[in-house]
Chains A and B, each alone.
Chain A
Amino acid sequence: MVDKSTYSSLILLIQFYSLKISLSISFLLKFYIFYYEFPFLGNTTSGDYMIYEKLKKTFHQTSDLKHKKIGKMNVVYLESLCSSDKINEYILKNVPLKKNYLFLRDVISGPSVVFLDDIEQASFYLMNGYALCYDKKTMLVCEVKADLYRAIAPPTVEPSINGPKDAFNESIQTNLGLIKRRVRSENLVNENFTIGKKSQTQVSLLYIEGTANPTYIQEAQKLLNHISMDSLIEIESLQGYLEATNSPMPTALKTERPDKVSTALFAGKVVIIADNSPFAFILPAYFADFINPQGDLYVKATNANFLKVLRFLCLIITIVLPGLYISIINYNPETIPLNLLLSFQAARLGVPFPSAIEALFMISVCSVLRESDIRFPNSYGSSISILGALILGETAVSANVVSPIMIIIIGITFISALVFNSGNLIDGIRYYRLILLLCSTILGLYGFLLGCFILLLHLANMKTLSQPYLYPVAPFSSKYFFKSLLKKPKESQKEKNLLKQEGKL
Chain B
Amino acid sequence: MKKVFLFLLCLFFFTGCSDYQELSDINIINGIAIGYEDGEYVVSFEIIKNEASDNSSEVTSKVISAKDSNLALAFNEAIKDSDKEAYFKHVHLLIISEEVAKSGIGDVVDYMLRNVKMSTTFYTVITEDSEALINMKVEDDTVSNYIVDLISSNLDRADLNNIDIIVSTILNQRKDIGLPYIEMEEDDKVTLHQIAYFHEDQMKDVIDAKIFNFLYLNKTDIDFLRDETVLNMYKKKVDYEVKKDKVIIKVSGRGSVKAVSSSIDLEKYKSYDEVKEVMNKQIKEEVEEFLEETLSNDSDLTGIKDKYYKKYREEKDNVPYEVQVDIVLSKNGSIYEVIHD
Contact = CB atoms under 8 A, between A and B. Distances in A.
Interface string A235-278: 00000000000000000000000000000000000000000000
B15 A446 contact: yes
Contacts of A341: 23, 28, 90
A348 B24 CA distance: 6
A333 B50 contact: no
Contacts of A447: 16
Interface in A330-356: 330-331, 333-334, 338, 341-351, 354-355
A450 B298 CA distance: 52
B12 interface: yes
Contact of B21 (A330, A344, A347, A350): A330
Nearest to A334: B89
A182 B21 CA distance: 60
A342 B28 contact: yes
Interface in A407-453: 442-444, 446-447, 450
A329 interface: yes
A355 B12 contact: no
Contact of B24 (A338, A349, A446): A349
B22 A450 contact: no
Interface residues of A, number: 25
A97 to B, nearest CB: 76
B56 interface: yes
A355 B22 contact: yes
B19 A444 contact: yes
A325 to B, nearest CB: 11
B15 A346 contact: no
A334 B119 contact: yes
B284 to A, nearest CB: 43
Q: Which of B15, B16, B48 has the most CB of A within 10 A?
A: B16
B64 to A, nearest CB: 18
Given A329-B23, A333-B87, A341-B23, A349 B28 contact: no
A397 B56 CA distance: 17
A345 B50 contact: yes
A300 to B, nearest CB: 43
Interface in B81-95: 87, 89-90, 92
Given A349-B24, A349-B52, A354-B22, A446 B89 contact: no
A444 B23 contact: no
B17 interface: yes
What secondary structure prevails in chain B residues at the interface with A? loop
Contact of A444 (B16, B24, B89, B119): B16
A341 B11 CA distance: 29
Nearest to A354: B22
Contacts, number: 70
B30 interface: yes
Contacts of B26: 333, 345
Interface string B16-55: 1101111110101010000000000000000010111000
B22 A442 contact: no
Contacts of B16: 331, 442-444, 446-447
Contacts of A334: 89-90, 119
A338 B20 contact: no
Given A333-B89, A443-B11, A342 B48 contact: yes
Contacts of A446: 15-16
B23 A348 contact: yes
Nearest to A330: B20
A341 B30 CA distance: 12
Interface in A311-369: 329-331, 333-334, 338, 341-351, 354-355
Given A349-B52, A442-B16, A342 B59 contact: yes
B59 to A, nearest CB: 7
A314 B182 CA distance: 48
Contacts of B22: 330, 348, 354-355
Contacts of A338: 28, 30, 48, 90, 92
B23 A344 contact: yes
A442 B20 CA distance: 8
A12 B119 CA distance: 131
A311 to B, nearest CB: 32
Given A334-B89, A341-B28, A342-B59, A349 B19 contact: no
A238 B11 CA distance: 39
Contacts of A330: 20-23
A446 B8 CA distance: 13
Contacts of B24: 345, 348-351
Nearest to A438: B12
Contacts of A347: 52
Contact of B19 (A331, A343, A450): A331
Interface in B221-272: none
Interface string B43-78: 000001011100010010000000000000000000
Contacts of B52: 346-347, 349-350
A442 B28 contact: no
A14 B77 CA distance: 141
Nearest to A440: B16
Contacts of B59: 342
Contacts of A355: 22-23
A457 to B, nearest CB: 10
Contacts of B89: 333-334
A443 B11 CA distance: 8
Contact of A443 (B12, B23, B28): B12
B48 to A, nearest CB: 6
Nearest to B16: A443
B3 to A, nearest CB: 14
B94 to A, nearest CB: 16
A337 B111 CA distance: 24
Q: Which of A345, A350, A443 has the most CB of B within 10 A?
A: A345
A450 B15 CA distance: 12
Nearest to B19: A331
A137 B50 CA distance: 97
Contacts of A344: 23
The 6 closest A-B pairs by CB, nearest first: A334-B89, A443-B16, A345-B23, A348-B24, A348-B23, A345-B50
22 contacts: A330-B20, A330-B21, A330-B23, A331-B19, A333-B87, A333-B89, A334-B119, A338-B28, A338-B92, A345-B28, A345-B50, A346-B52, A349-B24, A349-B50, A349-B52, A350-B52, A355-B23, A442-B12, A443-B15, A444-B20, A446-B15, A450-B11
Given A330-B22, A444-B20, 4 more contacts: A342-B28, A349-B50, A355-B23, A442-B16
